[in-house]
Structure 1
Amino acid sequence: MSDENKQAPGLWDVAKSVMAAFLGVQKSKHYERDFTHGKPWQYITIGLIGVVIFIAVIIGVVKVVMSLAGV
């Protein structure tokens, strides 16, 4: 196991793992690191923030398209 997998993931590592989970892709070494050294509350918090950002972007895009369409 490499040195990067022996330590707890940092905030950026957690964010990358959550983004990969949104897309449904994840390297096995990162998956193992996340489940071995990661804290669940970090992934839940970053995941909820990601969902809120995703919903806000969708709402923003819909509003822009609706305003351009004159609706």
Structure 2
Amino acid sequence: MSDRDPNNDNTPEDKPDHRPRFLQVLHSVLAALFGVQSGANRERDFQKGKAGDYIGVYVIMVIALVVTVFIVVSIVISSATGG
């Protein structure tokens, strides 16, 4: 028999001040950009995350997306015009 109390689980995920790691924030932002965020992750983000972390990652991801689209469109136009 285990003397571990299921109501006193001290994993880092259960601590109220434990913020999500960078990869968790990145995963949440990517999922939100594509509209496939799970309810459990959304709850974790709102309860334990800081808005500044998500806003910063989101701004970087949007800038990366815009730059990527610009580069792809430039390559396609360059190929189409033969130059």
Q: What TM-score does the superposition give when structure 1 sets the normalisation length?
A: 0.89
- Richer in helix (by share): 1
Alignment partners' CA distance in 1, 2:45 and 2:77 = 41
Equivalences for residues 1-71 of structure 1 within 5 A: 3=11, 5-6=13-14, 7-70=18-81
The aligned counterpart of 2:6 is none
Larger Rg over CA atoms? 2
Gaps of 5+ in 1: none
**Residues 16-25 or 5-14, more deviating:** 5-14
Cα displacement (A) at 1:5? 4.6
Task: Give the alignment's TM-score, normalised by structure 2.
Answer: 0.77
* Identity score, percent: 35
The residue type equivalent to 1:22 in the other structure is L
Answer 1 or 2: higher relative contact order, Cα 8 Å, separation at least 6.
1
Residues 34 and 18 from structure 1, CA distance in 2 versus in 1: closer, same or farther, beyond 3 angstroms? Answer: same
Structure 2 spans left out of the alignment, 5+ residues: 1-10
Q: Give the Cα–Cα distance (whole angstroms) in 1 for the partners of residues 43 and 12 of structure 2.
A: 11
Pairs aligned (count): 70
- Structure 1 segments (4+ residues) deviating >3 Å: none
